[in-house]
Amino acid sequence: MAEMYSIPLSVGDVVVAGSDGLWDNAFESEIISNAPVDSEDVQRAADSIAVLARQHASDDDFPSPYTREALSQGIDLPWWEKLVGASFKSGRLQLKQLTGGKMDDITVLVALVEAADPPAASDSSNAEAEGMEGAGSAAAAELQGPAEAAADNGLSSLESAPRNAGAAL
């Protein structure tokens, strides 16, 4: 059963949702640095965040959120791989450590909350109950396999809404 959350939003807030392929391969600080600056920028933000996560996923030396969490849980390379990958750094022997991204599907949805017309009198109690303060612009990017543009992205419902766009790479 799905969990439901109600979070109050304000005009200008940015919401980023993504699959585990995003969160396993990109740090929050990197995602925030790619956030949209306005409603015309949401597609660029979704695409750049998805591409960043894909690059990290295929980088064997990147200390990803996934491998950092594994290390914190006591999961690391076998001792013989640590020795084989050992190197000298600053005159000290450095054993190889678990690094690398996690190849997975990567889906990113970016939404920017914008001001909306006030709801009609009959809808006002409904809107307040739902905590809706505004409408927004949204964009999605999905990576499944090599990063190449796809003409039919399967997100046509997003394409038909104003200032919404979808892309699959």
| Domain edges within the chain | 13-113
Between 70 and 166, residue with greater pLDDT? 70
Residue 92: strand, helix, or coil = strand
Kindly state the average pLDDT of the residues 144-156.
32
Residue 123 has pLDDT above 90, yes or no: no
Report the pLDDT value the prediction gives residue 50, as an integer from 0 to 100: 97
Adjacency order of strands within the sheet including 134-143: 14-18, 106-115, 134-143, 165-168
State the Cα–Cα distance between residues 38 and 111, nearest whole angstrom.
Answer: 10
- The pLDDT mean for the chain works out to 78
